[in-house]
Amino acid sequence: MADLFGPTTDDATPEREQAGQGTAVNRPLADRLRPTRLSEVVGQNHLTGDDGALTRMLRSGTLGSMIFWGPPGTGKTTVARLLAGQTDLSFEQISAIFSGVAELKKVFEAARMRWSQGRQTLLFVDEIHRFNRAQQDSFLPVMENGTVILVGATTENPSFELNAALLSRARVLTFRSLDGEDIEALLAKAEETDEKKLPLDDEARAVLIRMADGDGRAALTLAEEVWRSAKSGETLDAEELQSILQRRAPVYDKSQDGHYNLISALHKAVRGSDPDAALYYLCRMLDAGEHPLYLGRRLVRMASEDIGLADPQALVIANAAKDAYDYLGSPEGELALAEATVYLATAPKSNAVYTAYKAAMRSAKENGSLLPPRHILNAPTKLMKEEGYSEGYRYDHDEPDAFSSQDYFPEKMGRRDFYRPVDRGFEREIGKRLEYWSKLRRDRGNG
pLDDT for 79: 93
pLDDT for 252: 60
Closest alpha carbon to 29 in 236, 235, 242, 219? 219
DSSP-assigned beta bridge partners for residue 124:
93, 151
Which alpha helices (H) appear in 86-139, and where do they start and end? 101-116, 133-137
* pTM, to two decimals: 0.61
pLDDT for 447: 63
CB 227 within 8 A of CB 198: yes
What span, in angstroms and rounded, lies between the C-alpha atoms of 70 and 184?
A: 20
Domain map (residue ranges) of the chain: 14-174, 180-245, 257-346, 372-443
CB 90 within 8 A of CB 4: no
Report helix, strand or coil for 143: helix
Q: Which CATH number fits domain 14-174: 3.20.20.210, 3.40.50.1000, 3.30.1360.70, 3.40.50.300?
A: 3.40.50.300
CB 256 within 8 A of CB 226: no
CB 179 within 8 A of CB 84: no
What residues have CB less than 8 Å from 161, skipping those under 6 apart? 129, 154
Closest alpha carbon to 313 in 340, 295, 273? 340
| Residue 238, CB-side half-sphere exposure with 13 Å CA sphere | 8
The gap from C-alpha 135 to its chain's centroid, in whole angstroms, comes to 25
CB 228 within 8 A of CB 241: no
What residues have CB less than 8 Å from 222, skipping those under 6 apart? 208, 211, 212, 245, 248
Residues in the chain: 447
360-373 per-residue burial string, b: 16 or more CB within 10 A, e: under 16 = eeeeeeeeeeeeeb
What span, in angstroms and rounded, lies between the C-alpha atoms of 129 and 106?
A: 20
pLDDT for 323: 95
What span, in angstroms and rounded, lies between the C-alpha atoms of 337 and 318?
A: 8
For 295-358, what is the HEC assignment? Answer: HHHHHHHHHHHHHHHHCCHHHHHHHHHHHHHHHHCCCCHHHHHHHHHHHHHHCCCCCHHHHHHH
pLDDT for 336: 97
The gap from C-alpha 50 to its chain's centroid, in whole angstroms, comes to 30
pLDDT for 97: 87
Closest alpha carbon to 218 in 182, 254, 175, 243? 182
Fold entry, domain 180-245: Helicase, Ruva Protein; domain 3 (1.10.8)
CA distances from 370 to 23, 373, 446 (A): 82, 9, 21
Handedness of CA 122, 123, 128, 131 (dihedral sign): negative
257-346 belongs to CATH 3.40.50.10490: no
Rounded to a whole number of angstroms, the CA Rg of the chain reads: 32
Q: Edge-to-edge strand order for the sheet containing 171-174? A: 90-95, 121-126, 148-154, 66-69, 171-174
Report helix, strand or coil for 99: coil
Q: What is the pLDDT along the chain (447 residues), one digit of tens a residue?
A: 444 444 433 444 444 344 444 455 578 888 889 998 888 999 999 999 988 999 998 888 778 999 999 988 999 999 998 887 788 788 889 999 888 888 899 999 999 999 988 888 899 999 999 999 989 999 999 999 888 999 999 988 898 889 999 999 999 999 998 999 999 999 999 999 888 999 999 999 998 998 888 899 999 999 999 998 888 889 999 888 888 887 655 556 555 667 788 999 999 999 999 999 999 999 999 988 888 999 999 999 999 999 999 999 999 999 999 999 999 988 899 999 999 999 999 999 999 999 999 999 999 888 878 888 888 888 888 888 888 888 889 999 998 989 998 888 888 888 889 999 999 999 999 999 999 999 998 888 776
Fold entry, domain 372-443: post-AAA+ oligomerization domain-like (1.10.3710)
| Residue 395, CB-side half-sphere exposure with 13 Å CA sphere | 3
CB 416 within 8 A of CB 377: no
Closest alpha carbon to 132 in 165, 171, 103, 162? 162
Could you give the angle at the alpha carbon of 161 between the alpha carbons of 78 and 284, nearest 5°?
80
What span, in angstroms and rounded, lies between the C-alpha atoms of 75 and 218?
A: 12
CB 116 within 8 A of CB 142: no
Residue 44: exposure state from Cβ atoms within 10 A (0-12, 13-18, ≥19)? buried
